[in-house]
A and B are shown apart, each in its own frame.
Chain A
Amino acid sequence: MELQRIAHALDAEFICGPDDWEKINIETVFASDLMSDVLMSDRDELLLITSLSTEQSIRSAGIVGSEAIVIANNKTVTEGMIELAQDQDVALFCTSHPKYEACVRLGRIMEP
């Protein structure tokens, strides 16, 4: 599914990312506030949804090769996080929906 559709479904605000971010293909979604769990995952084309708004969230996303990260729950995104996201080539979004709500919304549009 294209990242553009996902962003729309989440009412997500685009903060930074590669020029062609709309067309990025997302196959799997991972939602967690536990970075250790994120690092244990083994799947590709990941979108990470988390309400942990820290630089380490962005790093973790970058380390596992995520294409995009959505910060849920209306958390503040810092300048440092934006810089890191640019450096790591990860598209960064935020949404006012809580993490669970965001997952439910994604579940709806991802159902066949």
Chain B
Amino acid sequence: MSEEHKQPLQSSLRVQELVYGLRISEVMTSKVFAVSRNCTMRDVQTIMKNNSITGVPVVDNKRVVGIVTMNDLMNALEQGAMEHNVTKWMVGEVQTLAEDMPLSFAISAFGKFSFRQFPVVNKKNELTGILTFRNINHALIRELSRQLREMEQKNEQPEEPESLKFSKVYQLNRYDFENGGKASSEIKKFLKERGVPPKLVRRVAVASYELEINLVAHSIGGMLGFDINENRVKISSHDRGPGIADTEKALTQGYSTANEWIRSQGFGAGMGLPNVKRVSDEFAIESALGMGTMVQAIINLKPETENENK
């Protein structure tokens, strides 16, 4: 076991939940300063100066066709080309983010590219906002302090020892098969000790185990979070990459990209994700190549809400 296996703080579950739960559209600046193709570098300079921003998208019919950054502006200034059209100096191939993506994707994008901002577009590919790292920091701080206030209020009531309330985050590293399964065993014990019916315990254990194995077998590392209360168990798996190109395909029985070594460990038959879906009452997966994958599985614990045929 490596040094990295220190127990993460409970609060990292909250951050993890936030980066999943928040959409880019909830965090971005919607008031965007954009210019059209026929604007000059001078126009851009004025906008940047008056609004203290470092990047201005260039749009044509609401579509992003380029971006002018502080760097481009400096270059133009150096060449005395401030009256040139922005099209001469802008960067044409712009990396945009979709507004309904989870915040975690944006965070991966900031890690992957060295850009200081990303234009945000809607389904029709129209510019709807701009996202900077500052937006992300602000949103996280705002949300965390709101949760902290809620927790302080809750803490005034003492916790029952038999309570099913529990949350924990486990870190998983690539190819660390030795520790893949630890989290599932722990959660299984926790539920069993509290008298949860064996059939339900088994469904939770199977879902979380398959997700753990996927994290060590297919991702470059990630975390598995559990959020448990009297009504349900929520399992969230979240990793840093490489992502899945086609999630529908990944959900078909038998589809697997597992290598020989993973197969020699008794896995890689392409039944993991379908199995997680099978045992879950609610299931969601989101992924993009080069970004990361997140899976959320919910298993209801109350008979009245439990899906009978699962």
A binding-site residues for B, Cβ under 8 Å = 33-37, 39-40, 44, 50, 52, 54-57, 59-60, 62-65, 80, 87-88
Contact = CB atoms under 8 A, between A and B. Distances in A.
B63 interface: no
Contacts of A54: 265-266
Given A56-B177, A63-B202, A65-B198, A37 B185 contact: no
Interface residues of B, number: 25
Given A56-B180, A63-B205, A63-B206, A40 B271 contact: yes
Contacts of A64: 202, 205-206
Nearest to B210: A39
Contacts of A63: 181, 184-185, 188, 202, 205-206, 209
Q: Chain A contact residues: over half helix, strand or loop, or mixed?
A: helix
A63 to B, nearest CB: 5
Contact of B271 (A37, A57, A80): A37
B238 to A, nearest CB: 21
Interface of B: 177-178, 180-181, 184-185, 188, 198, 201-202, 205-206, 209-210, 213, 265-272, 275, 278
Contacts of B181: 55-56, 59, 63
A37 B263 CA distance: 13
Nearest to B181: A59
Nearest to B206: A39
B257 to A, nearest CB: 14
A39 B274 CA distance: 11
B269 A34 contact: yes
A5 B205 CA distance: 30
Contacts of B269: 34, 36-37
Contact of A33 (B180, B201, B266, B275): B266
B206 A52 contact: no
